[in-house]
Chain A
């Protein structure tokens, strides 16, 4: 697996899968977006019209909407990065025994229902909430941070922070510790070591994390709906409203296509920016930056070294608090004797929500369906993403960045638009066995995440080890099994956990594809929430969290989450 055009073929399976399972809905959305009439039963015309795009681009409301959404995505990505570094470094330093629990903390937001998480944000930021009370105790006027951009940003950071942490975790864990020791031996303090050694070497991981978080944050709309109080408008929300409530598919599709274009653009910008900051990856000479005069530099370094330990600790505590707060709420609410979930006060203790979940065979059979889909999905996605990661890292062919961007497309198109596209194809989709159909779509939705995480892991493989093994006569397959796989194990484990959770929790697209014979657990929960959210959802979340912790302990036994030989 050398730098050669041939390695590019490793991306072929994933490309083919995308063409088979994703090109169709994307094509449907693209075709809908060039229809002239917004009428729902108007016949589809193959002659493209720019009417919908003209309407959007000629309207300052839509332009502001697209811009605000992109800025929100960037802000969330940046904030997640700032909070994720201390957290990921903390995670790499945990003892092997404590590691599964560290991961569990990171994953809590992904295991709790979005409505419940939003309630947490509301309790934090409400006029009589935690933050406001704390501000008043310190002598500030009461704050109302709720129902605005800040609240939306915070709730997005909360749920997307885990992706950033996991993207950074593997590259930080795999870093050559001797470099840091050498820097320390030469007199660098912790702040300088971070800035000059750890941070630059983690940039490939940061690129993956930024891309993931930006794409997810700029297509998300549920949090904005719940904590933005409708004063915040994001593009995904408008796509949903135009598509699902007004039934103007062409306008919704055109808006979705513009979101897609924005996402691709930003992904490219990230790739170029990080590429410019990591010249050694391409073996290019480093760019020389104008440096500060020595006296000034000494002052800056001294100040940074003084502040760094405090700031990093505060950031770490803040990040853990943000991640864990929903857990507290969920656990308390799951034993709260109130007919409606999302309750701020405790009415009385009861086990009845657990009983309702565990005695109802429908929950269990839906959970079993979800579990089967998620497991198959992870296996297939790993089979597609791992070779594709090698292709993107090791192959040298023109248009590699374009292929990379193409492989991330499913993430850039909002889920609701994929759903709209699938609706148009429902007649054909219904011909496929339901399990296979849903599985194919889940693979499309999950693989980009696994690819983004694996790409960074593959990038930091020590090529010297492979060459040494090859030089000693090992066959390529033996090199892969004995040299590459052990180095990749933590990266694979992390991306599998993420892939599993994403597939297990997917609602947006699956809700359109559910049939009488196939229903997943999240769709059932969502359906119940559309009527009235009961505390069963919190009981389910609590059970999930416990099961996940148990699973992580198990995974850690089978496939260590860190590199054993580096301890």
Chain B
């Protein structure tokens, strides 16, 4: 590539670049040849972000985007081990892990350096940049229940005795199950006893599930009738494999769960990481997620086809109905609750 260096051209470039150079510090520039290391899940997550975030940046700025694929636990453990000297420039975490990581000084709080930050719902502005809402709700097999499930209290109905597949704790589903139980039976994250008491009442469980794939296997085999799971993946499962599965909309609301893009403290490629996140928050990328994985957008400036929007959490009102919790309290109690769950519920 040859660039003709005319005086006017140089001047124009300098004029354009001046605010960017003088306005921000050294880490806040994208330079040709920079490498950004992104830690994210595999599968559709890798495919979509490569198409909508990585490739445009690579074309536009001549940078290189490296992926480290893996599960949340390894990624988080590594980020903690490397606090302040990260090998990631951007990593993706779940809602409570991301807020804890900010508190622990592992990742940075979000900022308006990312232009699309302005469009985020308030819920998606804590602990990083919320890139997808993926709420947890009740899912059930319509053939195995006497009546549709419309409330979290329906797990305690007589027709579900012995048919409940409870989610293990900790984990997004198990956390939602525990906290929603506390909420509907007069407790809260600060008063968890009612939850453990009521969940123990559900024994014997048909099974205890540790992941969505495991739950779908159980539904295939009709091991149990109902569980607590991500609505998004379950919708894909119901539409392609098992039309008898219903994704309920309980009157008390769905429990919030979300994926967050987090920029680690001490990264040398902050500007590039922010540009990546900005593209992730663009309507095109959000729409691709909605179409391919039924993830709900976290930005306000997006309109989706009505038949797709009907399957998602869309709009101010729907988002405000998502049940959020005091995650500081939840995290502080995680070890204690995990140990209680193992002893009182599982086993």
Question: Which residues 410-460 in A have Cβ within 8 Å of B in the complex?
Answer: 419-420, 423-424, 426-427, 430
A230 to chain B minimum Cβ distance, whole angstroms, is 4
B217 to chain A minimum Cβ distance, whole angstroms, is 5
A527:B335 contact, CB within 8 angstroms: no
Neighbouring A residues of B222 by C-beta, 8 Å = 127-128
* From A147, A240, A248, A426, contact of B207 by CB (8 A): A147
Q: Which of B68, B212, B218, B222 has the most CB atoms of chain A within a 10 A radius of its CB?
A: B68
B41:A427 contact, CB within 8 angstroms: no
Is A355 in contact with chain B by the CB < 8 A criterion?
A: no
* From A41, A243, A519, A532, contact of B44 by CB (8 A): A532
CA A52 – CA B73 in complex, angstroms? 22
Segment of A73-81, A273-281, A376-384, A510-518 in the binding face: A510-518
Neighbouring A residues of B46 by C-beta, 8 Å = 527-528
A226:B236 contact, CB within 8 angstroms: no
Interface size class of A (residues with CB under 8 A): 35 or more
* From A347, A515, A534, contact of B87 by CB (8 A): A515
CA A225 – CA B214 in complex, angstroms? 10
Segment of A91-99, A338-346, A551-559 in the binding face: A338-346
Question: Which residues 195-232 in B have Cβ within 8 Å of A in the complex?
Answer: 207-210, 212-214, 216-218, 220-223
Neighbouring B residues of A38 by C-beta, 8 Å = 335
CA A340 – CA B240 in complex, angstroms? 9
CA A231 – CA B346 in complex, angstroms? 5
B157 to chain A minimum Cβ distance, whole angstroms, is 21
Neighbouring B residues of A245 by C-beta, 8 Å = 73, 170-171, 334, 338
Asked if A233 meets B223 with Cβ closer than 8 Å, knowing A426-B78, A527-B41, the reply is no
Is A71 in contact with chain B by the CB < 8 A criterion?
A: no
Interface size class of B (residues with CB under 8 A): 35 or more
Encoded as 1 (CB less than 8 Å from any B CB) or 0, chain A from 40 to 61 comes to 1100000000000000000001
Question: Which residues 270-309 in B have Cβ within 8 Å of A in the complex?
Answer: 293
Encoded as 1 (CB less than 8 Å from any A CB) or 0, chain B from 53 to 69 comes to 00000000000001111
Is B122 in contact with chain A by the CB < 8 A criterion?
A: no
A225:B87 contact, CB within 8 angstroms: no
A515 to chain B minimum Cβ distance, whole angstroms, is 7
CA A420 – CA B76 in complex, angstroms? 12
A527:B70 contact, CB within 8 angstroms: yes
Asked if A532 meets B70 with Cβ closer than 8 Å, knowing A244-B77, A344-B220, the reply is no
Question: Which residues 514-552 in A have Cβ within 8 Å of B in the complex?
Answer: 514-517, 519, 523-534
CA A146 – CA B343 in complex, angstroms? 21
B68:A340 contact, CB within 8 angstroms: no
A243 to chain B minimum Cβ distance, whole angstroms, is 8
CA A123 – CA B233 in complex, angstroms? 22
Asked if A338 meets B241 with Cβ closer than 8 Å, knowing A128-B221, A515-B87, the reply is yes
Question: Which residues 146-168 in A have Cβ within 8 Å of B in the complex?
Answer: 146-147
B210:A226 contact, CB within 8 angstroms: yes
Neighbouring A residues of B78 by C-beta, 8 Å = 423, 426, 512
Is A481 in contact with chain B by the CB < 8 A criterion?
A: no
Is B45 in contact with chain A by the CB < 8 A criterion?
A: yes
CA A345 – CA B87 in complex, angstroms? 43
Is B104 in contact with chain A by the CB < 8 A criterion?
A: yes
* From A123, A126, A426, A528, contact of B42 by CB (8 A): A528
Is A482 in contact with chain B by the CB < 8 A criterion?
A: no
B176 to chain A minimum Cβ distance, whole angstroms, is 15
A523 to chain B minimum Cβ distance, whole angstroms, is 7
CA A248 – CA B346 in complex, angstroms? 21
B43:A531 contact, CB within 8 angstroms: yes
CA A245 – CA B189 in complex, angstroms? 19
CA A333 – CA B192 in complex, angstroms? 43
Is B237 in contact with chain A by the CB < 8 A criterion?
A: yes
CA A533 – CA B233 in complex, angstroms? 11
A364 to chain B minimum Cβ distance, whole angstroms, is 16
Nearest 9 interchain pairs by C-beta: A527-B69, A516-B66, A528-B42, A527-B42, A530-B71, A230-B208, A531-B41, A126-B221, A244-B73
Which B residues form the contact surface with A (CB < 8 A)? Answer: 35, 37, 41-46, 66-74, 76-78, 80-83, 85, 87, 104, 168, 170-171, 207-210, 212-214, 216-218, 220-223, 233, 236-237, 240-241, 293, 334-335, 338, 342-343, 346-347
Which A residues form the contact surface with B (CB < 8 A)? Answer: 38, 40-41, 61, 115, 119, 122-123, 126-129, 146-147, 225-226, 229-231, 233, 238, 240-248, 338-345, 347, 419-420, 423-424, 426-427, 430, 511-512, 514-517, 519, 523-534
